[in-house]
C-alpha cells in the first residue's frame, strides 16, 4: 500500500493455456502477498482461466476475442471483426477498475487489454515466457513500458525488457542433482548393445507431454520400450499419456513384450516436482513452463517440440537450450523414423552418466529462482511504489 493509503491495483490480461495462466497466477499472488495489491484478470471464455482464476480467488472479466494464427480464413475474419470490440470493452474495464499497471501474459485477451492500456497511457508490463513472442506480445512489444522475458534473445522484441525467467514452484528448485556415478562415455549407435562385463547403474526415464499428453510419445514409446529396456539394464519408465490415452498406450506397452515390472503408464501424474526428482532423464515437449521447470530442477531432457505450436515457439525454446548443451533437441518426424531416433537418443544418454550430469548442470544455470519476486518488483516500480 502506498503512503497515500491507496492499494496497488493491477489488471492481468491473457491466458488460454496453462503456460499462460499458471505463471500469471503466480505473479498475481506475489503482487497480492508481497505488495498488498488488488489483482483482477481479463480473459476469454475458451481459456483455462475460466476455471483456474476463480479457484485461486481472483475476479475474472471475460471479453470476446479469437485466434489469428494457425486458423481458417473464416476464423481470422471473425477475430478481426471482434478485435475492435474487444479493445473497446478493455477500455471500459481499465476506466472502471483504474489499474496502476496492466500486465499482459500473452494469449487471446492480452492484445486488446494491452492496447487499451497503451491508448489510455496506463503503464504496461509484458510477460513473455517463450523465446519468440506470440502475436499479442509482438504487436505491443515496442509500445509497452517494460517487459519480463525468459530468454536473452527475446529482449530485442520489447522496450525495457529484463531477463527475469518464469515463475516456477519452489519445490522444483529444491530438487537435488541426480546421483550419477562417473563413467566413461559409451558410443551412441542404433546397433549399440551394452557390454555384459560390468553392471550398468539403474536409470529412470520420465515421459510426459503435458496435461493433454503427446500423441507421438504414446505411439512411439511402446514400440521401442522392449529394446530400450534391454539396452539399458535396470531402466524404469514412467509414461504420462494425457486424458483418454492411458488405456490404449498401456495395451501397446503390454503387447510389445517389454518387462511389465519396469514400465508404468498413467493418464495424469500428481506432484510433478517429485516426479522430476525421481527421473534421471526426461522426454517431453518444450513449452515455456516445462523448460523453466527443467531448469529449476536441473534435469537433462530430450525435447521434441510440438510442431503445431503457435509461431513455432516450442522449437525456439528447445533450440535455446540445445545451443548451450542444456538439452537434446529432436525434431518430430513420422512415427517409424521417431522410433529409430528416440531409441538412439534415449539409450545413448541413459548409458552416459557424465553427459547426463553435464546437461543437468548446464540447464540449471538457466534457472531463475527469484523470477516471481523480480517481476512483482518491476510492476511495483512501474506504479511508482
CA-angle at 22, arms to 18 and 23, nearest 5°: 120
Burial 225-261 (b: 16+ CB within 10 A, else e): bebbbebbeebbbbbbbbeebbeebbebbeebebeee
Task: Assess whether the region 9-167+369-382 and the region 170-364 belong to the same CATH fold.
Answer: yes
Q: What are the pLDDT digits (tens) for 289-338?
A: 999 999 999 999 999 999 988 778 899 999 999 999 999 999 999 999 99
* Residue of 14, 363, 369 whose CA lies nearest to 169: 369
Q: Does domain 170-364 have CATH number 3.10.450.50?
A: no
Q: Is the pLDDT of residue 150 over 70?
A: yes
Question: Order of strands across the sheet with 161-163?
Answer: 60-62, 38-43, 9-13, 101-104, 124-128, 146-149, 161-163
- Region 180-198 average pLDDT: 45
Of 68, 63, 105, nearest to 87 by C-alpha is: 63
- Locate cell 513449452: which residue? 287
Residue 287 has a pLDDT of: 92
Distance of CA 189 to the CA centre of its chain: 31
Q: Is the pLDDT of residue 187 over 60?
A: no
Residue 189: the pLDDT is 38
**Over pLDDT 90: what percentage of the chain?**
73
| Tens digits of residue pLDDT in 231-270 | 999 999 999 999 889 999 999 999 999 999 999 999 999 8
The domain ranges of the chain are: 9-167+369-382, 170-364
Percent of the chain with pLDDT over 70: 88
Integer angstrom CA distances of residue 65 from 19, 60, 86, 111, 298: 19, 15, 6, 9, 38
> What is the rounded average pLDDT of the residues 141-162?
95
- Please report the pLDDT score of residue 148 as a whole number: 97
Does the 9-167+369-382 domain belong in CATH 3.40.50.720? no
Per-residue H/E/C for the chain: CCCCCCCCEEEEECCCCHHHHHHHHHHHHHHHHHHCCEEEEEECCCCCHHHHHHHCCCCEEECCCCCCCCCCHHHHHHHHHHHHHHHHHHHHHHHHHCCCEEEECCCCCHHHHHHHHHHCCCCEEEEECCCCCCHHHHHHCCCCCEEEECCHHHHHHCCCEEECCCCCCHHHHCCCCCCCCCCCCCCCCCCCCCCCCCCCCCCEEEEECCCCCCHHHHHHHHHHHHHHHHHCCCCEEEEECCCCCHHHHHHHHHHHCCCHHHEEEECCCCCHHHHHHHCCEEEECCCHHHHHHHHHHCCCEEECCCCCCHHHHHHHHHHHHHHCCCCEECCCCCHHHHHHHHHHHHHHHHCCHHHHHHHHHHHHCCCCCCHHHHHHHHHHHHCCC
- For the whole model, what pTM was predicted? 0.84
Residue among 103, 90, 95 at smallest CA distance from 31: 103
Average model confidence (pLDDT) for the chain?
88
pLDDT at 281: 97
Q: How confident is the model at residue 47 (pLDDT cuts 50, 70, 90)?
A: confident
Amino acid at each position: 500500500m502506498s503512503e497515500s493509503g491507496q492499494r496497488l491495483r493491477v489488471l492481468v490480461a491473457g491466458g488460454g493455456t496453462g503456460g499462460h495462466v499458471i505463471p500469471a497466477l503466480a505473479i498475481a499472488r506475489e503482487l497480492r502477498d508481497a505488495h498488498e495489491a488488488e489483482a483482477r484478470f481479463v480473459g476469454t471464455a475458451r481459456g483455462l482461466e475460466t476455471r483456474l482464476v476463480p479457484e485461486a480467488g481472483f475476479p475474472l472479466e471475460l471479453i470476446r476475442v479469437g485466434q489469428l494464427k494457425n486458423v481458417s480464413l473464416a476464423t481470422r475474419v471473425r477475430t478481426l471483426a471482434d478485435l475492435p470490440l474487444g479493445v473497446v470493452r478493455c477500455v471500459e474495464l481499465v476506466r472502471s477498475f483504474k489499474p496502476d499497471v496492466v500486465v499482459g501474459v500473452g494469449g487471446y485477451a492480452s492484445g486488446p487489454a494491452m492496447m487499451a492500456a497503451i491508448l489510455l497511457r496506463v503503464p504496461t508490463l509484458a510477460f513473455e515466457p517463450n523465446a519468440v513472442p506470440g502475436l499479442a506480445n509482438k504487436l505491443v512489444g515496442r509500445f509497452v513500458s517494460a517487459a519480463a522475458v525468459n530468454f536473452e534473445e527475446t529482449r530485442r522484441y520489447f522496450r525495457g525488457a529484463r531477463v527475469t525467467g518464469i515463475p516456477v514452484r519452489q519445490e522444483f528448485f529444491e530438487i537435488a542433482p541426480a546421483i550419477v556415478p562417473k563413467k566413461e562415455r559409451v558410443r551412441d549407435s542404433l546397433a549399440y548393445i551394452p557390454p555384459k562385463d560390468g553392471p550398468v547403474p539403474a536409470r529412470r526415464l520420465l515421459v510426459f507431454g503435458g496435461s493433454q499428453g503427446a500423441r507421438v510419445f504414446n505411439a512411439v514409446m511402446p514400440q521401442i520400450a522392449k529394446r530400450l529396456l534391454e539396452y539399458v539394464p535396470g531402466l524404469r519408465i514412467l509414461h504420462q499419456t494425457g486424458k483418454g490415452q492411458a488405456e490404449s498406450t498401456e495395451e501397446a506397452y503390454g503387447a510389445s513384450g517389454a518387462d511389465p515390472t519396469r514400465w508404468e503408464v498413467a493418464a495424469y501424474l500428481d506432484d510433478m516436482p517429485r516426479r522430476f526428482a525421481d527421473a534421471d532423464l526426461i522426454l517431453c515437449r518444450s513449452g515455456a513452463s516445462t523448460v523453466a521447470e527443467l531448469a529449476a530442477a536441473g534435469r537433462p531432457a530430450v525435447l521434441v517440440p510440438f510442431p503445431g505450436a503457435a509461431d513455432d515457439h516450442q522449437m525456439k525454446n528447445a533450440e535455446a537450450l540445445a545451443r548451450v548443451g542444456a538439452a537434446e533437441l529432436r525434431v518430430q518426424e513420422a512415427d517409424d523414423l521417431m522410433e529409430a531416433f528416440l531409441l538412439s537418443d534415449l539409450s545413448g544418454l541413459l548409458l552416459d552418466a557424465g553427459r547426463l550430469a553435464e546437461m543437468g548442470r548446464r540447464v540449471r544455470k538457466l534457472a531463475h529462482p527469484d523470477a516471481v519476486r523480480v517481476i512483482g518488483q518491476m510492476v511495483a516500480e512501474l506504479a511508482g511504489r
